[in-house]
Amino acid sequence: MKSSSLFFGVMLAAMSALQAQGLDPRLLGQPPTQAWPTYHGDYSGRRYSTLKQISRANVKDLSLGWVHRLQLGTQGANIGGEGANGPPVDAVESRFGRGLAKATPLMVNGVIYYSAPDNVWAIDARSGEAIWHYFWKTTGGIHIGNRGVGMYGNWLYFETPDDFIVSLDAATGQERWHKKIADVKHDYFATSAPIVIGHHVIVGLGGDSGNEPGWLEARDPDSGEIQWKWFTTPRPGQPGAETWPNAAAMEHGGGMPWAPQTYDPELKLLYVPTGNPSPVQIGDARMGDNLWTESIVALDIETGKLVWYFQCSPHDTHDWDASEVPVLFDAIIDGKPRKLVAQASRNGLFFVLDRITGKALVSTPFVASANWYLGFDKRGEPIPNPAKEPQIGGVLVSPSNGGAANWLPPTYSPDTGLFYVNASETYSLYYRTQKDPNVVGSGGFVENGLGGFSNSLRAINARTGKIRWSHTYAGVRDAAARPERNGGLMSTAGRLVFGGGLSSQVVAYDDTSGKILWHSGLHAPMNNAPITYLLDGVQYVVVGADDSLYAFRLQ
C-alpha cells in the first residue's frame, strides 16, 4: 500500500509539473536538444541535433538504458472514440506487423509521447515507466500505421485510422475533443503526425480509392475548427486545371498529403509533399501532368494559398508518392547564399530547389537504376517515358512500387553538408490487366517484383546531388528489398548518423565515411526514426521496433 501511494504521489507531481510547463513554442524553431518537440525535431526536417555528449570517440560505450513495451487495448486506458469496445482485428494484427512502431516519439519536459493506430502513451523519459495510456474506439479504417503526435502548450493532437483529429491533455491523457476530418466510408484514412505552427494544427489525409478529392487542413488548436483547407487538385478554371482533362478527373484525382510537412518561419511557408494521382497506375482517364499530385508545394501558413510548386513525377503511373520529407537547409550555390529545400523522391530522383521561388537548382538521380524518364525539362522536372507505363505484356521499370526511397525520414547534417537517405535499387514488371481506361483506385494493374541489387545508406552532397559515400546492407537480392524496411535516420553534432537496417539493429555511423562505429540488436527491424535528447545532463537516443521503445545512453 505504501509503495502504491508513493507511486501515485510521484505521478501527481509529474502531472502538475506538466500542467505548469507545457511546450515552449520557441523549441519548435531550434535544433532539438533539451526536447524533441515535433515530428522532425524542429520545423526544418533535418533531424539534426547539436548534442555531442555521444560522439565518434565514445559511442562504443553506448548501452541500453531502458525498454518500454507498448500495451494495446482498453485496460487501464482513458477511452474515447465512436466505435465499439476493443481494437479491431487489423489493429491487433498490426502490433506484430507494420503498424505499431512507425511513429516518431516526442519528448517534452521529461515525458515521451508515443502513438500507434488508436493508441497514445505518455512514458517517463528517464526510466521508461508508463504514465498514462489513451485508447480510441475506432469505427474502422486502414490501420497501416500512425506517424506520431503534435503538441501545443499542454495539449496533444493525433489522427485516427477512421479519420478523426483528437486532442488530449498532455498531463493526464484525458480527451479534450475530437473532430471528424473525413468519412471513413469513402476509404479515407489518416496516419500523419500533426504539425503545430503558431496557432495552426496542420492535418493531413490518405486514401487511394479515387472516390473523393484530397486536401490539407489547418485547425484551431483550442477548438479543433477548420481555419483553412487546401485541395491537392485544382477546381475548374483555377491554375493547374489545364493539366487535367476534365472536372471529374480533377475532383477524384488524389494527391493525398499524408506525410508530415516542413516549415520556414522567416518566409512563413509550409512545404507540403503530395501523393500519387488516381487512378493510381492507369492514367488514360487523367491525361496531362495532373497537378498538384506528386509535388512539393509551398503554402502560405496563414491562408493556405499556393505560393509555388515543383512536380517531382508528372503524370505518375507507378504509385511513387512524392511524400518524402522536404528538407530545409541553407548553403552557397554558384557563389550565392541560398535558402534551399531538398527531397530524395520515391521515383529515384534527387531535387534541390530554391525554397523562396521553387526554382530547381539540382535535378539528378540518386540511384543509377532509375529508367522511367527521358530527361528533365527547363523547369528541372522529369519527362516521363510513356513506354514505361504499365503494359498488357509487362514492362521492366526501376524503381519498383516501394520506390528508391520512401516516407521514412532522411537526415541532413550542416557539419558535413550531406543529405543521408536509405535507398533501394529495385526492379518490377508492371502489367496492365485490362484495356478499358475506366478504372478506379489501383484497378487494372498488377506488379511483379523482381528484387533488387542494392539496398544502402547513401550520403549525398546536398549542393550537387553527387553520392559521397554508400554503405550497402546485407541480404538485399530479393523482392523484399524496400527502403522503408531500413528505418529512418538522425544525425548529431557528435559527428554521427543513427539508423537501422534489415538486420534488426540500431547502428551509429561515422558521418564523413559511413564506417560503423557501434550497433545494438533489437527484437525486430526499426520501422521509425531515432530521436535524441538531453535530460539531467545525460544524452539519450531512443528508437522503436515493433511493440517496444529502446533508450540508449553512455554508461
Domains of the chain with bracketed CATH: 2-554 (2.140.10.10)
At 502 the pLDDT is 67
Out of 169, 264, 319, 547, the active site residue is: 319
Q: Which three cell numbers stand for residue 41?
A: 525535431
Regarding beta strands 262-264 and 226-231, do their DSSP bridges make them parallel or antiparallel, or are they unpaired? unpaired
Contact between residue 530 and residue 104 where contact means Cβ atoms under 8 Å apart:
no
Regarding beta strands 295-300 and 306-311, do their DSSP bridges make them parallel or antiparallel, or are they unpaired? antiparallel
At 9 the pLDDT is 43
The letter for the amino acid at 423 is: A
Q: Give the DSSP H or E segment for 133.
A: strand 130-137
Please tell me the distance from the alpha carbon of residue 392 to that of residue 395, in angstroms, as a whole number.
Answer: 8
Contact between residue 418 and residue 460 where contact means Cβ atoms under 8 Å apart:
yes
Please tell me the distance from the alpha carbon of residue 500 to that of residue 40, in angstroms, as a whole number.
Answer: 17
Q: Give the DSSP H or E segment for 385.
A: none
Across the beta sheet with 215-219, the strand order is 195-197, 200-203, 215-219, 226-231
At 503 the pLDDT is 74
Sorted by sequence, the CB contacts under 8 Å of residue 262 that are 6+ apart come out as: 40, 43, 44, 45, 270, 271, 325, 326, 327, 328, 341
At 1 the pLDDT is 40
CA distances (Å), origin 85, targets 74, 93, 116, 138, 168:
8, 17, 17, 8, 19
Please give the radius of gyration of the chain, using alpha carbons only, rounded to the nearest integer.
22
Q: Which three cell numbers stand for residue 472?
A: 550497402
Q: Which three cell numbers stand for residue 287?
A: 491525361
What are the DSSP E strand ranges found in 367-522? Answer: 373-376, 382-384, 395-397, 411-413, 418-432, 445-461, 467-472, 490-492, 496-499, 505-510, 516-521
Please tell me the distance from the alpha carbon of residue 50 to that of residue 200, in angstroms, as a whole number.
Answer: 27
CA distances (Å), origin 550, targets 248, 496, 514:
48, 18, 23
Across the beta sheet with 349-354, the strand order is 327-333, 336-344, 349-354, 360-365
Query: Taking every pair of C-alpha atoms in the chain, what is the biggest distance, in angstroms?
Result: 74
Burial class of 96 by CB neighbour count within 10 A (0 to 12, 13 to 18, 19+): exposed
Please tell me the distance from the alpha carbon of residue 548 to that of residue 550, in angstroms, as a whole number.
Answer: 7
Q: Which three cell numbers stand for residue 280?
A: 493510381
Please tell me the distance from the alpha carbon of residue 273 to that of residue 257, in angstroms, as a whole number.
Answer: 6
Please tell me the distance from the alpha carbon of residue 296 to that of residue 322, in angstroms, as a whole number.
Answer: 7
**CA-wise closest residue to 94 among 186, 191, 188:** 191
Instruction: Kindly report whether the peptide bond that precedes residue 117 is cis, defined as omega within 30 degrees of 0.
Output: no
Per-residue pLDDT of the chain (555 residues; tens, 9 = 90+): 443 343 334 444 444 444 446 899 999 999 999 999 999 999 999 999 999 999 999 999 999 999 999 988 788 899 999 987 555 544 444 443 445 678 999 999 999 999 999 999 999 999 999 999 999 999 988 888 899 999 999 999 999 999 999 999 999 999 999 999 999 988 899 999 999 999 999 999 998 876 778 999 999 999 999 999 999 999 999 999 999 999 999 999 999 999 999 999 999 999 999 999 999 999 999 999 999 999 999 999 999 999 999 999 999 999 999 999 999 999 999 899 999 999 999 999 999 999 999 999 999 999 999 999 999 999 999 999 999 999 999 999 999 999 999 999 999 999 999 999 999 999 999 999 988 888 888 888 899 888 777 889 999 999 999 999 999 887 655 544 555 567 899 999 999 999 986 678 999 999 999 999 999 999 888 888 999 999 999 999 999 988 899 999 998
Across the beta sheet with 130-137, the strand order is 78-81, 130-137, 119-124, 111-116, 106-108
Note if 546 is an active site residue.
Answer: no
Q: Which three cell numbers stand for residue 419?
A: 543529405
Please tell me the distance from the alpha carbon of residue 461 to that of residue 445, in angstroms, as a whole number.
Answer: 37
Contact between residue 374 and residue 385 where contact means Cβ atoms under 8 Å apart:
yes
